[in-house]
Every structure is written in structure tokens, then in C-alpha cells.
């Protein structure tokens, strides 16, 4: 990997902009693909990254609104897929049709939830597909400006099993680190992705439904009980699919409340942010996957069933209200 490799960030929202901006600062050619207002601001004044990774003003090579606008050459070293999980299938189809993924190009999922890596593997093969566990938080403060508000742990990359695939993913982790985003390679990306689901499965829907930051959920007795139960159910499902590295769910919850939650106490869930903007949430890739995999393994998930239904209902009602609101009315 050289200091002038080309990277494409497909879905350059807050997280994608952080990766793209830091890679551009590190000397790489970076093409961003994202929402029109964000891309226009970046073209005009650059990409401002603030917060826990320091203050940077990056100038990516391109800021586009669709893959069709990208020049085909030079071949990208990697495409970072940062779209919302509910858009992964469509994004993979679009990327496959674009011809941008060449021999040796990595397709890296930097997304929430489960199922994204499998879709990428199905389209591009096991050695091109890399899964990423991203457990830092970023917010789009305004078009062209993102703020890194939370850093819970290093990014983890993994997925390929061949010698070449492992070497490529390991080199990618090293390059992310060189550019300021601490990243490590793991041979068990499934456990890492499940670890993030365990972190998100209670916090995201409850913060969304109750409209509070994560820390408030621990302070109220009933909210904390729901949080614990959602995590316990997900842990039982996860333990059937991955080696989580804990003797039992109590050991995981002890770590969750002592280490993971305190570093993100002031954070509001991305699920709430999506709902407030009238967008689809990622409930399917997080809670929905826990429920579906629980059924497959014969493990009941009653608390997650209810949280899933409530988020879907609230999200649907908000979108319905927005679509029937008369022009000019608040």
C-alpha cells in the first residue's frame, strides 16, 4: 500500500467523512460519494473534521453525489461502504454495476449491524470483502463539517481467510492507523461485529424511544432493566454464532456498565437522529437480526421483539405525519 492509493467512500455521512477526510490528510486520493448539500460544501470549502481526532481541514480529490460521476481510473485500492445498513443491498448492486471494483480492490464495510459483510462477500468474493467494527461516534454538525464525539475502542478489520486476504486487510488496518484512525486486524470479525450489536441492541432503540442520551438509561430503574434484558437476549443468540470471549452474559454486562457505557454516556443514538430526519432506521440490521437469528436457534427474544415493534411503529408514524403535513405548517 502506497501513500497515494485511491480510496472511494460510498456513503460519506459522518463516519464515512471521518475515514475519507483522514485518508485524504494522509496523502491518499479520496473520492467521496454522499448527499448533495454535504458534497457541495466540501467542494467549496473542504471537509472540516473536529473533536477527538483533532481538528483537520481535508480536501478530498472529489465530492460526488453518485458513483456514475466517478472517473474509472486509477483503480481504487479500496471502496469503503458506509451507507446505512438498510441500503446495503442496493449499494452493493450499484457498486457491482459500476465496474469500479477491480482485481485487488478491497470492499470494506464500515457499518452497523449484521448481514452487511455477507452481502459484500456474495457480490465480490471472500478475499475482496472486509468487515469493519467501528465503535467511535461522529455527528454531521452542518454540511462540510463533522465532529468526532465518542471514541470507545480501536476500529477492527477482518474477514478474509486466505494468506493474501489477511495480508491486505492487515495492511489496510495499518494505513488507517497511520492516517490517525487507530485500527487493528482481527481473525474473528464475526465476534467483533456481534460485540458491537451487543453494545447497540439496547442503547439504540431505548435512546430512540425515550429521547435521552445513553447515560440516562442506566439512571432510571425500569429503563435499565429493559436495557439489561435486551442485551441478555442478544448475548444468548450471539453465543451460538461466535466466541464472544466472556464466560457468560453477566461477565459481559459487568464490562458494559463499567467500561463501555461510561465513555458514551452523553451520546444520542443514530437511530434517533435518523428518525428525527425522517429516514429509515437501522433497526432491521440490529434488533431485527437478533430476532431472526434467535428464531433460527430457538432462542426467545421477547424484549427485543417489543423494542423492534415500537421503533418500527414510531418511525412509520413520523414518516406518515410528515407526508400528510400541509405546506407551511410546522
What is the reported pLDDT for 286? 96
pLDDT tens, position by position, 160-204: 989 999 999 999 999 999 999 999 999 999 999 999 999 999 999
In angstroms, the Cα distances linking 7 to 20, 113, 316 are 8, 23, 36
Residue 304 confidence (pLDDT) above 80: yes
User: pLDDT category, 149, cuts 50, 70, 90?
Assistant: confident
Superfamily of domain 6-187: NAD(P)-binding Rossmann-like Domain (3.40.50.720)
What is the reported pLDDT for 135? 87
What is the reported pLDDT for 188? 94
Classify domain 191-324 at the CATH class level: mainly alpha
How much of the chain exceeds pLDDT 90, in percent?
Answer: 83
Residue 329 confidence (pLDDT) above 50: no
Residue 137 confidence (pLDDT) above 80: yes
Residue 325 confidence (pLDDT) above 80: no
Domain positions in the chain are 6-187, 191-324
Residue 321 confidence (pLDDT) above 90: no
Q: Point out which residues pair with 109 in neighbouring strands.
A: 81, 131
**Residue 198, all three cell numbers:** 451487543
pLDDT tens, position by position, 202-233: 999 999 999 999 999 999 999 999 999 999 99
In angstroms, the Cα distances linking 163 to 65, 126, 168, 292 are 36, 12, 9, 33
Provide the pairing of β-strand 47-51 with 129-133.
Answer: unpaired
Higher pLDDT, 61 or 137: 61
Our CA dihedral for 130, 133, 139, 144, rounded to 10 degrees, sits at -20
Residue 291 confidence (pLDDT) above 80: yes
pLDDT tens, position by position, 35-67: 999 999 999 999 999 999 999 999 999 999 999
User: pLDDT category, 330, cuts 50, 70, 90?
Assistant: very low
Residue 152 confidence (pLDDT) above 90: no
Q: Point out which residues pair with 32 in neighbouring strands.
A: 9, 63
State the chain's mean pLDDT as an integer: 93
User: pLDDT category, 81, cuts 50, 70, 90?
Assistant: very high
**Residue 90, all three cell numbers:** 442496493
What is the reported pLDDT for 320? 78
Q: Is 142 exposed, middle or buried (0-12, 13-18, 19+ CB in 10 A)?
A: exposed
Interatomic CA distance for residues 276 and 196, integer angstroms:
23
What is the reported pLDDT for 269? 83
Amino acid at each position: 500500500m502506497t501513500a497515494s492509493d485511491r480510496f472511494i467512500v460510498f456513503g460519506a455521512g459522518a463516519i464515512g467523512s471521518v475515514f475519507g477526510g483522514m485518508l485524504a490528510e494522509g496523502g491518499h486520493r479520496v473520492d467521496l460519494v454522499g448527499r448533495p448539500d454535504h458534497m457541495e460544501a466540501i467542494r467549496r470549502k473542504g471537509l472540516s473534521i473536529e473533536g477527538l481526532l483533532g481538528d483537520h481541514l481535508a480536501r478530498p480529490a472529489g465530492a460526488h453525489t453518485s458513483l456514475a460521476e466517478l472517473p474509472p481510473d486509477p483503480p481504487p485500492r479500496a471502496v469503503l461502504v458506509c451507507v446505512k445498513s438498510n441500503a446495503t443491498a442496493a449499494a452493493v448492486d450499484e457498486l457491482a454495476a459500476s465496474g469500479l471494483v477491480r482485481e485487488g480492490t478491497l470492499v470494506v464495510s464500515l457499518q452497523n449491524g449484521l448481514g452487511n459483510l455477507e452481502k459484500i462477500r456474495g457480490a465480490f468474493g471472500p478475499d475482496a470483502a472486509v468487515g469493519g467494527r467501528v465503535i467511535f461516534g461522529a455527528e454531521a454538525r452542518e454540511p462540510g463539517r463533522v465532529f468526532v464525539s465518542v471514541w470507545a475502542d480501536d476500529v477492527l478489520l477482518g474477514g478474509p481467510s486466505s494468506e493474501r486476504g489477511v495480508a491486505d486487510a492487515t495492511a489496510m488496518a495499518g494505513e488507517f492507523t497511520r492516517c490517525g484512525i487507530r485500527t487493528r486486524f482481527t481473525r474473528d470479525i464475526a465476534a467483533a461485529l456481534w460485540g458491537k450489536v451487543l453494545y447497540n441492541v439496547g442503547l439504540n432503540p431505548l435512546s430512540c424511544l425515550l429521547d435521552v442520551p445513553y447515560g440516562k438509561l442506566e439512571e432510571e430503574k425500569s429503563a435499565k432493566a429493559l436495557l439489561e434484558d435486551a442485551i441478555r437476549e442478544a448475548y444468548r443468540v450471539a453465543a451460538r454464532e461466535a466466541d464472544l470471549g466472556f464466560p457468560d452474559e453477566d461477565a459481559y454486562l459487568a464490562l458494559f456498565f463499567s467500561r463501555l457505557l461510561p465513555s458514551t454516556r452523553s451520546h444520542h443514538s443514530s437511530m434517533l437522529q435518523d428518525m428525527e430526519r425522517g429516514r429509515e432506521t437501522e433497526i432491521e440490521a440490529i434488533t431485527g437480526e437478533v430476532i431472526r437469528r434467535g428464531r433460527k436457534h430457538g432462542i426467545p427474544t421477547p424484549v427485543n421483539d417489543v423494542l423492534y415493534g415500537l421503533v418500527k411503529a414510531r418511525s412509520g408514524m413520523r414518516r406518515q405525519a410528515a407526508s400528510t403535513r400541509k405546506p407551511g405548517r410546522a
